[in-house]
Structure 1
């Protein structure tokens, strides 16, 4: 059986024109024509497919195979899309979301919601290694509590995204953390320590900013009459007690115990369904229907609560899932035919300093997210293309792995057509372009990474070998959830 013949690489001009057309179509269509992203992504698929066909003279089966490869690389994330919809719907039916909102209204003040939300989401994402699971549970609750306190939802969503991405970036359980270490062939814990030099200061600055912003809403404390109205509405719709929190605690415990995300979500959803049926007295048919279509037990009489408790379900994730499939297909073509690789290798020839190298790394991975729609591909490609450049300049590869995450993990939720951006928007109910300016950690951390490189701070030299008590990247299991 013969091996597949390598495809010819595009010229720099071919790659630049293809990349430029995709960026122009998306940016002009989204910001000026206000066209929906699915139509724009279809046009971009046509551009990439035609360019690849003209380049290689291949038949459509080769292009279809490239699209399939792009989708297959993120099959785990696609399944998680569906499970998050099920999880949110089950938690709503069981009263878990309502109980968390109820207790949140009792104990959180408007001035402390933003910093407390950042800390809560950060701790949960560090413990679980998943930004998506954090946004789908704690994030949904914080948006509900923030809405009740009349705090702008884009601001609350920005807090959630910042906290969720903090843990997704530094947790040893996170898939992108592990992937960045593997792609750059860096010891996992050297990678995490390197990230803390830039992520730690960024987190503290962002925490201070959110605390200062929170003081503007100190006067937004709910009047006792409104608090009583919302509490009564939740109590009338659900039986609220400690049992309602069980599905959330099970989900958190299983994640900390390093149980894979998919079975952890399924088991938590099953427990939530049982609580909905046997404690909330919900009809099993209605509960199972809600797992697909979403929705709570009925009208609470409070519009904000009705909107929040009407979320979840598999159907609610289909917009996000279909957009993700198209973006991944586009990424598969661009990756298979080497369009972005040509641009990056050309840019590398002009790199003259470590500062330039770090900047090019971060911006290249960000560009990969823009065009390929998924941080997995961008991080993997960046690790392959930049490793030798860091070695040649005597820079430890932990600086490379750190830069891969700063350009990939943190920027993905800021782009509406990436799987991360589409997921956060669908889950939190806030448009990406609305919450993106408030996802402060996602902006500040890459900027600090470049600033530190300019001043030569935390630019480490290569080590002879990883220390004996450290695990190598291949010693760590790979999880399939963002």
Structure 2
């Protein structure tokens, strides 16, 4: 529950605040090479200052911070669980086993599209991009490194696949949440999204096929052979190495709760480390917190496999908390209200309506730091315009997911952006150019609005394109 603001800020004040926050982020991160955590922390006080200027009392703004953080606590729990799972799965030979068999079965020229498809299938089956990246995504990074592929494009392929399911799966929390916020039946929401995601998936697959032809290691797979030899020397690689991954994916497919399932998977990793890898039971349990530690003669394997543990997620969690708190402050001080009202007035045609919804979702991620915030801003800001124009809520829900869910890993300080960068070991700005699925979904969503494609009216007819 938020307290009503004493007064709404003017548009000029909102713009000045936005410029100040962007300036602080640039100064801290680019100019002084300081952690972005500090930039977001300082941004809290910029918003609090605006709130005091408008007559807000500090107690209400502090309450807004805690309320905003509370909305993202599920993501924090998932981050902790995934960190534990990564640590024990490394020590238990589960991820090394997937990498080993992947290097043996895949060919370099087909690796990128295969990585995209594998992560897409995993995310569709499980409904979680975090779980997909924490398991299949890490494995794809290892296989790609073994083939000598540039890691940013490998990360791009994995993230693109992971967000296919995060956006489309009926098991995804963001998919269910968006359908609920927009008051659309879940099946109808997914059907509407497929009109955009279907072409985007196909084009993305083709792009990764073409990219795979350019990034081939010219037939030299010696690095892959070296990686397989190193893995075989450090781990017991066998078919049973894959069982925990199959069990976890199976439980998620059955729509079991994500946090306990991932924790159970982490426990299986401890058992596998003790039973099959000869790791002392205390050391195996310690990997849940501290992650895995090995020494090989290949630097990229050391970097890839020496990771995980709850402790590896602490910086991510702190950043997510700061971002969520900032989003709560933005809501309490009326900043989001002013922006939403301006966007609502501007969205006077179906084309502008699509742009405003997508932009509102991006803004929710940029200022609120989480998909949950962005879905709320995108679904509420221009909802009245859809109803007034007679455009079906299925279009609203589709555009909400495009602006909210899809843009989450594109912003460095969102929960999704930080998780992807930390887990895969590739900075957001490095993998961003390869998020082809994401860019295509955004572009097609906006194009449909201006072209009048799949813009259904409330009576089921196709809306006519309106010049903007």
Shorter-chain TM-score bucket reads over 0.9
The answer for the alignment partner of 2:259 in structure 1 is 262
- The one of 289, 299, 304 equivalent to 2:300 is 304
Aligned ranges 1:139-288 → 2 under 5 Å: 139-223=137-221, 226-288=223-285
The answer for the alignment partner of 1:404 in structure 2 is 400
- Distance in 2 (CA, whole Å) between partners of 1:153 and 1:385 is 38
In 2 relative to 1, CA 227–74 (structure 1 residues): closer, same or farther, beyond 3 Å?
Answer: closer
The answer for the alignment partner of 2:22 in structure 1 is 23
The answer for the alignment partner of 2:328 in structure 1 is 332
Equivalent residue of 2:453, what SS? coil
The answer for the alignment partner of 1:341 in structure 2 is 337
Equivalent residue of 2:34, what SS? coil
- Distance in 2 (CA, whole Å) between partners of 1:4 and 1:174 is 27
The answer for the alignment partner of 2:286 in structure 1 is 289
- Displacement of 1:350 in angstroms is 2.5
Equivalent residue of 1:56, what SS? coil
Q: Unaligned 5+ residue runs, structure 1?
A: 465-482
Q: Over residues 124-160 of structure 1, what are the superposed CA-to-partner deviations in whole Å (9 max), with x where a residue is unaligned?
A: 0011000000001000011111111111000000111
Quote the RMSD (CA, aligned, Å): 1.6
The answer for the alignment partner of 1:377 in structure 2 is 373
Partners of 2:356 and 2:382 within 8 A in 1: no
Partners of 1:181 and 1:188 within 8 A in 2: yes
Partners of 1:162 and 1:439 within 8 A in 2: yes
Equivalent residue of 2:382, what SS? helix
The answer for the alignment partner of 2:135 in structure 1 is 137
- Displacement of 1:49 in angstroms is 1.3
- Distance in 1 (CA, whole Å) between partners of 2:207 and 2:92 is 36
In 2 relative to 1, CA 223–338 (structure 1 residues): closer, same or farther, beyond 3 Å?
Answer: same
- Distance in 1 (CA, whole Å) between partners of 2:217 and 2:10 is 60
- Distance in 2 (CA, whole Å) between partners of 1:150 and 1:86 is 28
In 2 relative to 1, CA 227–203 (structure 1 residues): closer, same or farther, beyond 3 Å?
Answer: closer
Equivalent residue of 1:141, what SS? helix
The answer for the alignment partner of 2:384 in structure 1 is 388
Q: Over residues 2-56 of structure 1, what are the superposed CA-to-partner deviations in whole Å (9 max), with x where a residue is unaligned?
A: x986323333333332233223322454345543211211121111111112212
Partners of 2:14 and 2:335 within 8 A in 1: yes
Equivalent residue of 1:265, what SS? helix
- Displacement of 1:96 in angstroms is 0.4
Equivalent residue of 1:443, what SS? helix
- Distance in 1 (CA, whole Å) between partners of 2:104 and 2:213 is 19
- Distance in 2 (CA, whole Å) between partners of 1:377 and 1:134 is 22
Equivalent residue of 1:349, what SS? helix
The answer for the alignment partner of 1:88 in structure 2 is 86
Q: Over residues 229-266 of structure 1, what are the superposed CA-to-partner deviations in whole Å (9 max), with x where a residue is unaligned?
A: 32222122111111111110111000000001011111
Partners of 2:378 and 2:404 within 8 A in 1: no
Structure with bigger RCO (C-alpha 8 Å, 6+ apart): 1
Equivalent residue of 1:377, what SS? helix
Partners of 1:414 and 1:436 within 8 A in 2: yes
The answer for the alignment partner of 1:36 in structure 2 is 35
Partners of 1:82 and 1:317 within 8 A in 2: yes
The answer for the alignment partner of 1:114 in structure 2 is 112
Q: Over residues 139-184 of structure 1, what are the superposed CA-to-partner deviations in whole Å (9 max), with x where a residue is unaligned?
A: 0011111111111000000111111011100111111111111111
Equivalent residue of 2:54, what SS? helix
- Displacement of 1:423 in angstroms is 0.5
The answer for the alignment partner of 1:13 in structure 2 is 12
In 2 relative to 1, CA 5–124 (structure 1 residues): closer, same or farther, beyond 3 Å?
Answer: closer
Q: Aligned pair 1:420/2:429, yes or no?
A: no
Q: Over residues 332-368 of structure 1, what are the superposed CA-to-partner deviations in whole Å (9 max), with x where a residue is unaligned?
A: 1112222112112122212221111111111121112
Q: Unaligned 5+ residue runs, structure 2?
A: 461-468
The answer for the alignment partner of 2:60 in structure 1 is 62
- Distance in 2 (CA, whole Å) between partners of 1:373 and 1:222 is 42
- Distance in 1 (CA, whole Å) between partners of 2:80 and 2:280 is 23
Mean CA deviation greater in 67-76 or 330-339: 330-339
- Displacement of 1:463 in angstroms is 4.7
Q: Aligned pair 1:47/2:46, yes or no?
A: yes
Q: How many residues of Structure 1 are paired with residues of Structure 2 in the alignment?
A: 459
- Distance in 2 (CA, whole Å) between partners of 1:325 and 1:351 is 32
